[in-house]
């Protein structure tokens, strides 16, 4: 109880200081707030996290009078809660990042759509404005850069928040058994990185989500609505990012296990990346199908998880 009060009070004080002095946009709101909220969640639980969040937001709105900062802070707070919730779940790291990035994107777009007039900033309009000055690029390239720019924000923020939450949680001894395993994997990524992958369940959820999104995009009344189109297409690209990454990783592992040659693995990886650039749609479908087929035949995910559990028990004494 005392520790929860101290953590909550420290967060409130820091928020008031940074926002009150105008330094909130120097990384505090975007990067420090979600990590602090995640750490408070790990130690104090959902109730105290919400309490400290609401207290901070009320002080910023009513004492400082900065509504725009409060809106952006609320977004970062939600990112932190999502990250901390996933860290404690018995899912793989890539599953956590997959679901976390989708949820973070939904939150980001919701705030951008509904509160951009209050904050005076819009991520979507900002990216569109920047690309309008680049006349040398074709429409297809601009379109690709536009969606990549949108999805890079929630994916990047979630990854950074997730990693720093694990390290800070370990520093203060707030991690439970599940999150401690994830910390060991991140700390020793060179050793365990090749064994980390999305679960088969997440792959199927991603495929269903992509097919559903494409189906919605073909509905006549949705096509003219710009924000609906951007939201659906961006969500599809977030899912595609993780499915393609997982597929390339799985194919590389299979090639290396069969040939025991790093050169062959590198050549295959370059071919896959080139095919994605030149023939994105066909290559994406082929990669995902190969992913499912290889896992079905060689049961790679199952064996990876078994090796991972074995190594983690030895290293972590779990």
- Contact status, residue 187 vs residue 169, Cβ threshold 8 Å: no
The C-alpha atoms of residue 122 and residue 130 are separated, in whole angstroms, by 12
- Contact status, residue 61 vs residue 16, Cβ threshold 8 Å: no
Per-residue pLDDT at 316:
58
The C-alpha atoms of residue 43 and residue 82 are separated, in whole angstroms, by 15
Neighbour tally for 312: CB within 10 Å: 19
The beta strand positions in the chain, using DSSP E, are none
Mean pLDDT of 86-112: 93
pLDDT over 70 for what percent of the chain?
A: 94
The C-alpha atoms of residue 5 and residue 191 are separated, in whole angstroms, by 39
- Contact status, residue 210 vs residue 239, Cβ threshold 8 Å: yes
Nearest in space to 11 (alpha carbons), one of 22, 103, 43, 121 = 43
Give the contacts of 13 (CB within 8 A, at least 6 positions apart). Answer: none
Nearest in space to 158 (alpha carbons), one of 208, 114, 98 = 98
pLDDT digits (tens, 9 = 90+) for 67-79: 888 999 999 999 9
Ranking 1-10, 136-145, 224-233 by mean pLDDT, the lowest is 1-10
Average per-residue pLDDT in the chain?
A: 87
Q: Which helix (H) or strand (E) holds 57?
A: helix 33-58
The C-alpha atoms of residue 312 and residue 38 are separated, in whole angstroms, by 24
Does the structure show a pLDDT above 80 at 8? no
60-63 contact pairs (CB < 8 A, 24+): 60/15, 60/16, 60/19, 63/16
pLDDT digits (tens, 9 = 90+) for 21-67: 878 778 888 899 999 999 999 988 888 889 888 988 888 888 888 88
User: Helix (H, G, I), strand (E, B), or coil: what is residue 279?
Assistant: coil
Mean pLDDT of 239-250: 94
Neighbour tally for 105: CB within 10 Å: 22
pLDDT digits (tens, 9 = 90+) for 208-226: 999 999 888 887 766 656 7
């Amino acid at each position: 109880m005392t520790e929860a009060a101290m953590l909550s009070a420290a967060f409130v004080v820091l928020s008031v200081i940074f926002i009150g002095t105008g330094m909130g946009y120097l990384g505090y709101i975007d990067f420090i707030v979600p990590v602090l909220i995640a750490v408070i969640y790990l130690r104090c639980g959902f109730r105290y996290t919400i309490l400290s969040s609401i207290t901070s937001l009320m002080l910023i709105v009513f004492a400082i009078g900065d509504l725009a900062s409060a809106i952006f802070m609320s977004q970062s707070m939600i990112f932190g809660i999502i990250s901390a919730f996933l860290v404690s779940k018995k899912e793989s790291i890539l599953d956590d990042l997959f679901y976390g990035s989708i949820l973070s994107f939904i939150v980001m777009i919701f705030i951008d759509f509904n509160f951009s007039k209050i904050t005076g900033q819009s991520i979507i309009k900002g990216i569109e404005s920047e690309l309008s000055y680049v006349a040398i690029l074709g429409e297809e390239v601009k379109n690709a850069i536009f969606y990549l720019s949108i999805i890079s924000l929630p994916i990047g923020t979630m990854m950074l928040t997730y990693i720093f939450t694990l390290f800070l949680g370990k520093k203060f001894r707030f991690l439970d058994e599940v999150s401690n395993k994830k910390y060991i994997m991140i700390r020793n990524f060179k050793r365990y990185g090749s064994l980390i992958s999305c679960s088969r369940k997440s792959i199927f959820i991603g495929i269903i989500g992509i097919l559903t999104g494409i189906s919605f995009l073909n509905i006549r009344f949705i096509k003219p609505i710009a924000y609906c189109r951007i939201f659906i297409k961006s969500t599809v690209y977030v899912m595609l990012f993780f499915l393609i990454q997982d597929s390339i990783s799985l194919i590389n592992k299979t090639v290396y296990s069969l040939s025991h040659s790093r050169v062959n693995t590198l050549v295959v990886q370059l071919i896959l990346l080139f095919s994605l650039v030149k023939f994105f749609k066909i290559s994406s479908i082929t990669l995902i199908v190969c992913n499912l087929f290889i896992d079905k035949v060689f049961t790679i995910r199952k064996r990876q998880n078994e090796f991972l559990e074995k190594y983690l028990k030895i290293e972590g004494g779990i």
